[in-house]
A and B are shown apart, each in its own frame.
Chain A
Amino acid sequence: MIHVHNLDIKLGIFKIKNVNLRIARGEFLVLLGPSAAGKSVILESIAGLIPISKGKIVVNNRDVTYLKPEKRNISICYQDYNLFPHLSVRDNICYGLRFKKDKHCVKYSKNFKTLIKLLELEEILDRLPLNLSGGEQQRVSLARGLIGNPDVLLLDEPLSSLDPNIKWTIQEELKSIHQTMHTTIIMVTHDFTEANYLADKVALIYNGEIVQQGTIEDIFQCPQSIFAAQFTGIKNMFWLSKDKELKSFGLKQPAYIGIRPENIYIHHRPLSTYYQYQGRINSFKNNGIYMEIELSTADTKRNYISYLTLNRFFELKLKKDIPIHFGFNKKDLIVIRPKP
C-alpha cells in the first residue's frame, strides 16, 4: 500500500497543492492530466528526486518521506528511456542488482528470465543502447526498473515518444507484465486512451491539484468538474439556469449538462431520441477515422458537436448548410455540478 498524504511541493512559482493518493499493493494508478499540470513533479517527489514542502509518503507501512532515492526501493522509467549508453542491454537490466545486498538471490535471476521473455529481449542482450529502436529501448528500461522487485514502479509518460504501432505493443506488454509480476505501478500520462487501457485507478490532475480520483468508469461517466468533462472528451457542455431549461432536463438547480459527441445522432428524417432538434450542419472536419460535425439549432442557438464514422457520414450524404435532424437520449446526459 502506498499512501501519499497532504503533499505540497513548491518549484519556483509552480505549486503542487495537497495531493492525497492511496494505492493498494499491486494496483495500477494513472496520474492523468494535461502538460504542465504537475504529474511528473508528483512522480519524482514520490521517488525522492524532488524535495517536498509538506506531507508524508508511506510505502508498505514504511515512511519514506525523508529517505534518499536509493533507499526507497522505488524505481522510475522516463519517456526518453535514459538507458546507460556505455552498458550493454544485459548490464543495463542488471544495473540495480549490484547495489542489492542479496544480489545473488535466485528471485532476481528468475525475474531476469521472466522479463526478457515477456519483453522479447533475448536477441538484443549484448547490444548497446545506441543500436536499439525506441520500442526496444523502452522495453529495456522497463526490465531494468522491474528486475529488483521495487515496491513501486514509476512510469513517466513511457509511451509518449513511441510511434503508434510500437506504442500499442508496449502498452499490451506493460499490462501483461503488471498482471504477471503484480508490481504496484504509478504511471503519468496525458493520454486518456492509455489510462483507459491500463489503469485500475485514475487520479486526474490539473494545475497542481488532484481534481478527481476513482476508477476510469467513475471519471468517464461522472466527471465532477468542467476540466474532467472536457478532458474525458465531452465536447458538448451547456450551462442551464433558466427554469424552463432545467425542467426540460429534469434538473432542480442550475448545472452544466454534457453530451458526448458520439451520443448525438444525426439523420435527414426525425429521430426517435428523447431530445430532438432540427438544425443545420455548420461545418465538418475529417479526423481520419471519424467525421466531426458541428451542428446548430435555430431555437436554442446552441452549437453541438457530433461524431460519425466515415462510412455513416458518406451513407447519409451530408453536406454543409443542409437542414438536419439530430438528438440524444436522456441516459446519455451527464450532469456536472461544479464544486463551490
Chain B
Amino acid sequence: MFGSRPEIIYIIAAITGIIILLFNVFPIINTFYWTDSETLIETLFDREVIASIWLSVKCASITTIIAFLLGIPLAYYLARHEFRLKALIESLIDIPMVIPHTVAGICLLTVLSPRSIVGQFLEQNNIETLGTEIGIVIAMLFVSMPLLIDAAKDAFKWVPTRIENVSRSLGANQVQTFFGITFVLSWRGILSGMIITWARAISEFGAVIILAYHPMIAPTLIYERFTTYGMKYAIPANIILIIISVIIFIVLRLISLGGKEKYDSRS
C-alpha cells in the first residue's frame, strides 16, 4: 500500500467480493421471507421431513467415511510418486466432477441394473442397490470422492519427503512414519477435504434420484414437494435443510480450525 489512497486492485476486489457474497448469501436468506414461523415449526415435526434429513446426514456421513478409507491411500501414493500415467489417472479420478450429475446417475445405473454383470452379481448375493440407502451412498460417493482425494493429495504434498526420510532413518518403518508424522501433519488438510466431501454428498440430487428416488433424501423430498404442491410446501423443508447443513458445516469447520496447530507454519 502506497500513500493513503487504496490501490485500484483492492477496490476492484472489494466490489467483486461484495457481489460474490450477495450472490451466495442473498438467495439463501431470501428464502426465509417466503414462509412463516408457524409453518416452519409445523414442518419441524413433520416425520417425513425429519426422516429425509436424517437419511441425508447419515448417507453423507457414511459416504465421507468410505471416501476417506478408499481415498487416503491413493492420495498418498499420488502425492509421493511420479510415474508415466499419473496425469491420466488423476484425470480419471476427477471425471465425476466434470460430468452432469444426472448423467453420472445414469452411468451408475447401467452398472448396477440387473442387466449388467455387476448388477447380476449383486443380485445373486442379495445386495440391493437401486432404491436403497446403498444406492444413495454409491451416488454420493461417485460425485464427492474426487474432492477428498484432491484435498488429501495436496495435504500430503505439503509434508516434506525429507521429514519422512528422517523418521525412517531414526528407525520408524513406513507405516509408523505415515501415522506418526505424515498423517498428523496433513490431518487438517484431510479434514477440510472430508468436510467438503460431506457437503458435496449432502447436497447431491441429480445422481441420487436416478439410483434411489425412494427412500427420499432431503433434496429429493424438497423437489417432490415443489413439483407436487408448489413453493409454499417446499420452502419450510428447504429452510430446515439449510439450517441443519450450515450448522453441521460450521461445527466441522470449527473442529478443523479449532486449536489451529501452533506448529503449522502456514497459519
Contacts and interface: CB of A to CB of B under 8 A. Distances in A.
A99 B162 contact: no
A96 B168 CA distance: 9
Given A99-B171, A100-B171, A148-B171, A128 B166 contact: no
Interface in A54-103: 68-70, 72-78, 80, 82, 84-86, 95-96, 99-100
B116 interface: no
A245 to B, nearest CB: 51
A84 B263 CA distance: 9
A333 interface: no
Contact of A95 (B160, B170, B173, B184): B170
Interface in A106-157: 128-130, 144-145, 148, 154
Given A78-B166, A85-B185, A86-B185, A129 B263 contact: yes
B168 to A, nearest CB: 4
B172 interface: yes
B165 interface: yes
A128 B166 CA distance: 18
B167 interface: yes
A128 B262 contact: yes
A47 interface: yes
B170 A49 contact: no
Interface residues of B, number: 21
Question: In the complex, which of the residues A44, A68, A76, A80 has the most CB atoms of chain B within 10 Å of its own CB atom?
Answer: A76
Contact of B176 (A49, A99, A144): A99
Interface string B243-267: 0000000000000000001111100
B163 interface: yes
Contacts of A82: 160, 162-163, 165-166
B160 A47 contact: no
A85 B171 contact: no
Contacts of A48: 168-169
A141 to B, nearest CB: 8
Contacts of B62: none
B162 A75 contact: no
Interface in A253-292: none
B173 A148 contact: no
Interface in B227-248: none
B263 A128 contact: yes
Contact of A49 (B160, B163, B169): B169
B185 A69 contact: no
Contact of A47 (B165, B185, B263): B165
A70 B262 contact: no
B169 A85 contact: no
B263 A49 contact: no
29 contacts: A47-B165, A47-B169, A48-B169, A49-B165, A49-B168, A49-B169, A68-B168, A69-B168, A69-B169, A70-B169, A70-B172, A70-B173, A78-B165, A80-B162, A82-B163, A82-B165, A84-B163, A84-B167, A85-B261, A85-B265, A86-B184, A86-B185, A86-B263, A96-B170, A99-B176, A129-B263, A145-B169, A145-B170, A148-B171
Interface of B: 160, 162-163, 165-173, 176, 181, 184-185, 261-265
